[in-house]
Structures are given as C-alpha cells and as structure tokens.
Amino acid sequence: MAVKLIAVDMDGTFLNPHGEYNKARFREQYQQLVQRNIKFVVASGNQYYQLKSFFDDIDEQIAYVAEGGGYVVDKKKEIYCGKLEPEQVAQVLGWISRTPGINTIVCGRNGAYVLEGTDEAFISRMRRYYHRLAKVQDYAQISDTIFKFALSYVEDDVYPLMGEITTQIGGIVAPVTSGHGSVDLIITGNHKASGLRKIQQIYDIRDEEVLAFGDSGNDLEMLSYAGYGFAMENASAPAKSAAKYIAPSNREDGVLNVIDDVLNGRAPFA
C-alpha cells in the first residue's frame, strides 16, 4: 500500500536529543514528498506556535496536529479547535489545586497560561515547548478557548496520578504521558489519531496509507491505527507495543532514514 501521509511526533522522534533535526536532508526529502503528493504532518503535544517555528520555510504547505490533537491546522488554516466549557475547566483546575506536587499550564487557542508565583525553573523549561506563555494572577483572567492542561509532577512515576485523574475527572479529560513526569490532560476522545483523521478527510487518505512515528504514551493511538506505525528505537515500551515497526533511534535520524526507505521503495514500502 502506498504512503500518502507521513505524521511525525517531535521530541524524542523527529528531533534529536539536542532538539534539532537535519534540516538540509529533510528539505531534499520534502521536495520529493511534494512531487509524490505525500502529505507531511507534524503531530505533537506541543503548542502550535512552537511547532511551526521548526518549519518556517514550508509552514504554508504542511499540517499540524498540535496540543495532542486539541488544535489542528493545515496550510495555516485552522481545521479544528477543541473546547472545554468554563464549568469543565473549573472542575479540572479544582481537582488539580487539591493535588500537591503539580505545576500546571492551561493551554488554549491563543496561547498558554501559568499562575504567577509558579516555580520559575518550571516556567523557563516550559517556554521551550510553549512560545506563547503568559503569567496570570488568577485563572479567571484567561479569556481563551481552553482545550488542554499540561502538568509536571514531582514524581517520575506518573501512572498512579494518571489513574486518579481517570477516576476523578476522566469524563472530562484523558491523561497521556510524554515521559519525565509530564502528563497532558486532553479532551476525552481527542488525541493525535483523531487529529490526523481530520487531515485525512480533507485529502481522502485511508488509515492504511498513513505512516506515523512516535516514542511515548501520547502517540499510542496514532501508532496503533496507522497502516505503518513506527516506534522509535528509543521509545517507551507501550509505544513499541502499539507500533507495527521499529525505526532507528532519534540519535540516528531514524525518521529520515525511514522516509528514505519510502522514497526508494524499500521494505516494508516495496
């Protein structure tokens, strides 16, 4: 089956451990993808405004499934924006406020928000992923469409926390992890796979024609449904279990190596 859409997670997948990628090599590949009408999609838990900074010269041509499926853009046009109702936002924030050891970012269409007084080291670290990040004195000051909460937990093992979230507020948000104590609360039913399918509908692309790359818990749905789901060699065990194939690690330009296999008709794309 021919590949008609390539979706890449960013951190731990498309980007190397230094947060970079081989831009010259990818641009050569991208020109061939365009010639073959293969759609390129960035699928990440990160903010749209951060993701587009990596692809400034082709931004008008590609698509983004940002914020773990909460915000979808194609050719700079908004395709989908998730929305939590104000009472749902208040319920989630109320639960978070009663749970110690959590730093929180509230994510919306126009930017992300953090309370004044939040640990500055955390804020500085998060600015890497949220290029639009504002401090507010009170969450009530936020005037935006909210679709995600990004949590950083004091414990590396976030699975007990995720279980508690599912029990207490699972009807509103679903917890997914990207590792290192990070948990995103996304609208239940929203994820990278649901975002990709919105792009597929535009271009009449079937699931079996999708090639997807990922490395962590927020990639599971995408890796399992795609016809060619590739977990990175450096991926978590759940990601590897969800995927049909394994790509070389992000240290070895694993995504670009597999794209070369697509372009040259090598297995499993022969």
SS3 track for the chain: CCCCEEEECHHHHHCCCCCCCCHHHHHHHHHHHHHCCCEEEEECCCCHHHHHHHHCCCCCCCEEEEHHHCEEEECCEEEEECCCCHHHHHHHHHHHHCCCCEEEEEEECCCEEEECCCCHHHHHHHCCCCCCEEEECCHHHCCCCEEEEEEEECCCCCHHHHHHHHHHHCCCEEEEEEECCEEEEEECCCCHHHHHHHHHHHHCCCHHHEEEEECCHHHHHHHHHCCEEEEECCCCHHHHHHCCEEECCHHHCHHHHHHHHHHHCCCCCC
Contact call for residues 187 and 145 (beta carbons, < 8 A): no
Decide if 9 is catalytic. Answer: yes
Q: Are strands 210-214 and 5-8 parallel, antiparallel or unpaired?
A: parallel
Catalytic residue among 9, 184, 215, 219: 9
Measured distance CA(13)–CA(17) in Å, rounded: 9
Active site residues: 9
